[in-house]
Amino acid sequence: MGSALVFPLSMNGVNIRIVGTPFDREVIDECIRTGSNPKISRPFPAGITFHHFEDWKEVVPGSDYVIGGISSYGAEWFLENVLAYLPEEIPVFTVVKGLRVGEDGMLSTWPQYWEKQLATKGLHRKVYMLGGPGIAQDIINGEHTVTTISGEDPDVLCMMKESLETDSLHVSRTHDVTGLEYAVAIKNAYALGPAIAIGLGQRPGAARPTGVNAQAAVFFQAAREMRRILRTVGAESDCISMGLADLFVTVEGGRTRSFGILLGEGYSLEEARERLKGITLESISAVKSLYEGISILAQRGFMTAYGKVDMAEFPLIEHLYGVLFHGKDAEFPWERFSFDLS
Amino acid sequence: MGSALVFPLSMNGVNIRIVGTPFDREVIDECIRTGSNPKISRPFPAGITFHHFEDWKEVVPGSDYVIGGISSYGAEWFLENVLAYLPEEIPVFTVVKGLRVGEDGMLSTWPQYWEKQLATKGLHRKVYMLGGPGIAQDIINGEHTVTTISGEDPDVLCMMKESLETDSLHVSRTHDVTGLEYAVAIKNAYALGPAIAIGLGQRPGAARPTGVNAQAAVFFQAAREMRRILRTVGAESDCISMGLADLFVTVEGGRTRSFGILLGEGYSLEEARERLKGITLESISAVKSLYEGISILAQRGFMTAYGKVDMAEFPLIEHLYGVLFHGKDAEFPWERFSFDLS
């Protein structure tokens, strides 16, 4: 996603420097040599410079902003190696997904966690978020995309909107920071559900053909669970709608779709990961932290504005956790997906 | 959908009599001759009898319930020719979609309207609803499907659940009658949006390829408008989630999808209808009544629990109305689909 955003930014004449993490040594070498990131389908626009991680402290100062194009697997590293040293006056946007379960069992988004940790070091940074609904490849292709940004300072959001907006990338701004952060964080977990439904129908000798009703049934359950989580953390209507549109786009075309289809076909977590080598699978960590976080809250009888947290209301995340981490068969517990007169 | 439900009912040993409307003369003749409805892909199970409309008053008495498998185009007719004469003790389930705009400009669902009209004749009937998310063909194929029923008497709902539920058709019951009726009524209108996005990318010489981001952008706007409408009429969370899952399945595989793709490709309402001859297009009447109903409420400054009704908050339904009824180009007003710090 970090590389994808270079295309609209460059169309707006933004002066861009791409800095790799220590894991991106080969990718950056390839970029320097060819002007292309081998993981995306077209060469970068002209005029961009590429840098290895050790040069970041020379390259970054003076920038109007930093976009941290890291995955949740690099989130701790980004805090300790970049955010802890970055001059406070440079705003940071992030596209990071996923949730963190604290030692107390409480869930937080990565930006929430970063801000808290930085504050203990006397650094008062508010992180800006940039999130869905959209997949990176379509942004690169110039497909019409709506994206949403959130954060504290309206002037910074205004600057980012002007930097990013093109005739195909349409940028919304929201004050609902928590809503946006949670919406983008949890949709990768839930998008596995409808994707698994596709895979189940593709099993050799599957009892039932693949249609759209099974996907919709799981989408329905995913929407119910996502709404419960988003309302509990105080997300507002527009970010709940965004989360469901992000669920839609991830089921339709993201890497989570490919992974879920393999799980549905009967491959284990390890086998599916092997087949998708090189692709970052946010959904694995998203399912793990969501399941663990909700379980702990349920065990403690945690109260929300909508009642006590009850694991029985999250059968889909429980099923996905079982499939990923306990080798459970991917066929859904359908009887748990219908509800009844209350 | 009426014909599709015959398959699960028959698996449960229900004694089924299919009665056509006066428009179904040829279809019923064909059913009597061959045991198949020519509009669906497989023959009916054995043991079902088929009847022309004029015989209904002999066939129906003594039934445990009636399922009115009619479209919104037949809703007035069904009221005047069936509901007005049907013995009060026989419960009626309906799969009708769409909304009615009253002479006072107020929107109502068909069941709401029927109940009101019947009451003026001294008939006190509460109509039961059976709705999404699912398409008829997948139910016929035995695909896993979640469907929802609502209505007044828990015993009647229990009887219907037992009649319908199979190992692939999973039946939820809800007390949220209004929520279910509106959710199934409005999704056909909104599903045109993402389908048009697919069609736009298929125009000869389209400036942009077809991807999933544009569909997701329109899905996002559809979700925002659907949520506003559903919250305004008092729908509860589960039925809002159901409505969005129903939006998903209709974009993925319903007849509204085919119609929307043609509109996106540049065909007019009449041309697209011509190409889909014989298919009932609920989306046309759904867009018309939603647009007209919301316009009237907005003109009057109607207050809801969520503020004054404002047409500016419904740019997608306004666009769809222009495309269908005023020959407007189907390309979206993208700038109206982004929102901003409130």
The CATH number given to whatever domain includes residue A90 is 3.40.50.720
> What number of other Cβ atoms are within 10 A of residue A82's Cβ?
20
Q: CA of B78, closest CA in chain A: separation in Å?
A: 28
Query: Which residue, B94, B109, B116, B296, is CA-closest to B186?
Result: B109
Helices (H), B107-254: 110-120, 136-140, 154-164, 177-201, 213-232, 237-253
Residues A178, A179, A185, A186, CA torsion sign: positive
Verify whether the Cβ–Cβ distance B338 to A212 is below 8 Å: no
Which pLDDT belongs to residue B207? 74
- For residues A22 and A166, membership in a common domain is answered with yes
- For residues A202 and A265, membership in a common domain is answered with yes
- For residues A170 and A185, membership in a common domain is answered with no
Verify whether the Cβ–Cβ distance B135 to A209 is below 8 Å: no
Q: Tell me: the pLDDT tens digits for A30-73?
A: 999 999 998 888 999 999 999 999 999 999 999 999 999 999 99
Which pLDDT belongs to residue A270? 95
Q: Tell me: the pLDDT tens digits for B141-172?
A: 999 999 999 999 999 999 999 999 999 999 99
What average pLDDT does range A118-141 have in this prediction? Answer: 94
What average pLDDT does range A8-34 have in this prediction? Answer: 96
Using CB atoms and an 8 Å cut-off, which of residues 227-256 of chain A contact chain B?
Answer: 227-228, 231, 237-238, 240-242, 244-246, 248-249, 252-253
Q: For residue B287, tell me if it sits in a domain.
A: yes
Q: Tell me: the pLDDT tens digits for A234-271?
A: 999 899 999 999 999 999 988 899 999 999 999 999 99
> Considering its fold, how many domains does chain A have in total?
2
- For residues A131 and A185, membership in a common domain is answered with no
Q: Token pair for residue A35?
A: 């002007």
Using CB atoms and an 8 Å cut-off, which of residues 207-226 of chain B contact chain A?
Answer: 208-217, 219-221, 223-224
What average pLDDT does range B87-114 have in this prediction? Answer: 92
Q: Tell me: the pLDDT tens digits for B242-294?
A: 999 999 999 998 889 999 999 999 999 999 999 998 788 899 999 999 999 99
Does A290 reach chain B within 8 Å, measured CB to CB? Answer: no
Q: CA of B54, closest CA in chain A: separation in Å?
A: 35
Judged against a pLDDT cut of 60, whether residue A197 lies above it is answered with yes
- For residues B38 and B168, membership in a common domain is answered with yes
Verify whether the Cβ–Cβ distance A217 to B146 is below 8 Å: yes
- For residues B106 and B163, membership in a common domain is answered with yes
A342: pLDDT confidence band, cut at 50, 70 and 90? Answer: low
Verify whether the Cβ–Cβ distance A213 to B246 is below 8 Å: no
Judged against a pLDDT cut of 60, whether residue A9 lies above it is answered with yes
- For residues A328 and A300, membership in a common domain is answered with yes
Q: Tell me: the pLDDT tens digits for B24-80?
A: 999 999 999 999 998 888 999 999 999 999 999 999 999 999 999 999 999 999 999
Per the structure, the complete domain to which residue A285 belongs is given by 178-337
Q: For residue A121, tell me if it sits in a domain.
A: yes
For B175, the closest of A139, A248, A342 (CB atoms) is A342
What average pLDDT does range A144-166 have in this prediction? Answer: 95
Verify whether the Cβ–Cβ distance B224 to A237 is below 8 Å: yes
Query: Which residue, A126, A244, A141, is CA-closest to A178?
Result: A126
* Predicted complex ipTM exceeds 0.90: yes
- For residues B85 and B223, membership in a common domain is answered with no
Tell me the percentage of chain A whose pLDDT exceeds 90: 85
Q: Which residue's entry shows tokens 């709940």?
A: A240
Give the span between the Cα atoms of A25 and A23, in whole angstroms.
6
- For residues B244 and B305, membership in a common domain is answered with yes
Select from A118, A151, A175 the last residue of a domain.
A175
From chain B, the residues in CB contact with A338 under 8 A are 146, 170-172
Does B330 reach chain A within 8 Å, measured CB to CB? Answer: no
Verify whether the Cβ–Cβ distance A173 to B341 is below 8 Å: yes
DSSP reduced 3-state for B86:
coil
Verify whether the Cβ–Cβ distance A245 to B217 is below 8 Å: yes
- For residues A100 and A156, membership in a common domain is answered with yes
CATH number at residue B202: 1.10.1040.10
Give the span between the Cα atoms of B226 and B112, in whole angstroms.
19
- For residues B53 and B104, membership in a common domain is answered with yes
Which pLDDT belongs to residue B209? 65
Does B150 reach chain A within 8 Å, measured CB to CB? Answer: no
For B216, the closest of A141, A210, A245 (CB atoms) is A245
Give the span between the Cα atoms of A233 and A229, in whole angstroms.
6
Query: Which residue, A216, A248, A230, is CA-closest to A290?
Result: A230
Judged against a pLDDT cut of 60, whether residue B342 lies above it is answered with no
CA distances from residue B254 to A239, B80, B192, B213, B279 in whole angstroms, order as listed: 27, 29, 10, 20, 11
Mean pLDDT of chain B: 93
For A249, the closest of B212, B240, B241 (CB atoms) is B212
Which pLDDT belongs to residue B132? 82
Q: For residue B112, tell me if it sits in a domain.
A: yes
Select from B146, B175, B204 the last residue of a domain.
B175
B305: pLDDT confidence band, cut at 50, 70 and 90? Answer: confident
Q: Tell me: the pLDDT tens digits for A65-110?
A: 999 999 999 999 999 999 999 999 999 999 998 899 988 878 999 9
To the question of pTM greater than 0.90 for the whole model, the response is yes
Tell me the percentage of chain B whose pLDDT exceeds 70: 99
Q: For residue B312, tell me if it sits in a domain.
A: yes
Q: For residue B180, tell me if it sits in a domain.
A: no
Which pLDDT belongs to residue A209? 65
Select from B175, B195, B218 the last residue of a domain.
B175
Which pLDDT belongs to residue B105? 79
- For residues A187 and A170, membership in a common domain is answered with no
